[in-house]
Amino acid sequence: MQLSELKQKFEQFLKQKGYKVTKSRLELIDKIASYGSHFEIEQLVVWVSNQDKGVASRSTIYRTVKLLQEFGAIREVIKLGNRTIYEFIAGKPHHEHLICVKCGKIIEFYREDIEEIQDKVCEEYKFTPLNHRLEIFGVCSECSYSVV
Amino acid sequence: MQLSELKQKFEQFLKQKGYKVTKSRLELIDKIASYGSHFEIEQLVVWVSNQDKGVASRSTIYRTVKLLQEFGAIREVIKLGNRTIYEFIAGKPHHEHLICVKCGKIIEFYREDIEEIQDKVCEEYKFTPLNHRLEIFGVCSECSYSVV
DNA sequence: CTAAATGCAAAAGTTTTGCATCGGC
DNA sequence: GCCGATGCAAAACTTTTGCATTTAG
């Protein structure tokens, strides 16, 4: 999906919910999109507040991240210790993550069979799935060469 | 595994690491074991400090939970919002979780094929897996009958 | 004009840490 | 006796919130 299209849809989402279309909200989508696919809120706060003009304050960033989750453009994908790593998913197909515990590298992968397993398990327990998250923690190939 | 056997192994673990076998550490295993399989640290702190004699302070509980994770008797299994839910796994076979976002119910399930998927994916990326966590968030059968 | 959004600072919640004291070994 | 463990209170982090002010519709 194009970024412009996403922003349009977000505007519709806001209007439909009775929220307001504000400069901060739209600019934050740009910032998040250009930040890279994975981010933590504190990084975003620092990065955004170092820009020419402050696009949004810390509270607005927290509030907007929540909104964007509700809208579906952002997802909490990795929970490691006390850190929460978000992902900008706009239009991206669903996928899971490998996380290198040494260097922090994140590798995305998709397996159709995980979706099938989810469906089977949920059917068995009469459970209505909303979303899932599979995190595989380990050591990536580069880090496994280092002795440390 | 018997609790007594687990405690013995934990003692060995402590000695081998050069840590000390203390009353708090051993009693905390009992407390955690009798708490039920899933717990949050704050619950544990409150519960433990309401007992006759204070088995351990908040800091000791935090430190001991870390130790028990290192030992492998405890695992962070669910990360939901800002909450961390731990599980006492001593001897239990590996499994995944369904989490009802309405009532908080936790259902455990095991699928051999998830392990196989992990192996295949990791091989493909030359990634050495240490552990994984699959969380399926949704609504359980009981909650799906309620309109709220 | 009205209600919602923002920024700030304060508060709340969770986890960690410095340090004096206590307790295994 | 020595060195690690514990308890306490303070600090560090992360996230949320109350309120005065600004801004979208």
Hey, what are A41's tokens?
A: 């809120």
How many Å apart are A98 CA and C8 C1'?
Answer: 39
Res. B118: pLDDT tops 90? yes
Domain boundaries for CATH 3.30.1490.190 within chain B = 93-148
Going by CATH, does the domain composed of A1-92 fall within 1.10.1040.10? no
How far apart, in whole angstroms, are the C-alpha atoms of residue A76 and residue A62?
13
Quick one: fold of B93-148? Dna Ligase; domain 1 (3.30.1490)
**Residue B42 in this model has a pLDDT that exceeds 80:** yes
Spacing of B63 CA from D7 C1' in Å = 12
| Residue B115 pLDDT exceeds 90 | yes
Segments of chain A assigned to CATH 1.10.10.10: 1-92
B20 touches strand C (CB under 7 A): yes
Beta carbons of A109 and B122 less than 8 Å apart: no
Whether B105 contacts A107, CB under 8 Å: no
Residues with pLDDT less than 50, chain A:
none
Contact list, B95 vs chain A (CB under 8 Å): none
* pLDDT for the residue numbered B72: 95
Please tell me the predicted confidence (pLDDT) of residue B128. 97
Which residues have C-beta within 8 Å of that of residue B3, sequence separation ≥ 6?
B29, B30, B33, B90
Say how far A58 CA is from C9 C1', in Å.
Answer: 12
| Cross-strand partners of A85 | A78
Q: Give residue B148's pLDDT.
A: 55
Measure CA of the first residue to CA of the last residue in chain A; give whole Å.
41
Copy the structure tokens of residue A93. 């197909």
Judge whether A122 is annotated as a binding position. no
Dist CA A67 CA A64 (whole Å): 5
Top residue of A99, A100, A121 to mutate, by most chain B CBs within 10 Å, is: A121
Q: Is the CB of B83 under 7 A from strand C?
A: yes
The answer to whether residue B40 scores a pLDDT higher than 60 is yes
Query: Which residue has the least CA–C1' distance to nucleotide C17?
Result: B59
DSSP B84: E
Q: How far apart are CA B106 and CA B88, in angstroms?
A: 14
Whether residue A100 is annotated as binding a ligand: the answer is yes
Please answer yes or no on whether A136 and B114 come within 8 Å at the CB atom. Answer: no
pLDDT digit string (tens) for A42-55?
Answer: 999 999 998 877 79
In the predicted model, is pLDDT for residue B62 greater than 80?
yes
Decide if B138 and A127 are in contact by the 8 Å CB cutoff.
yes
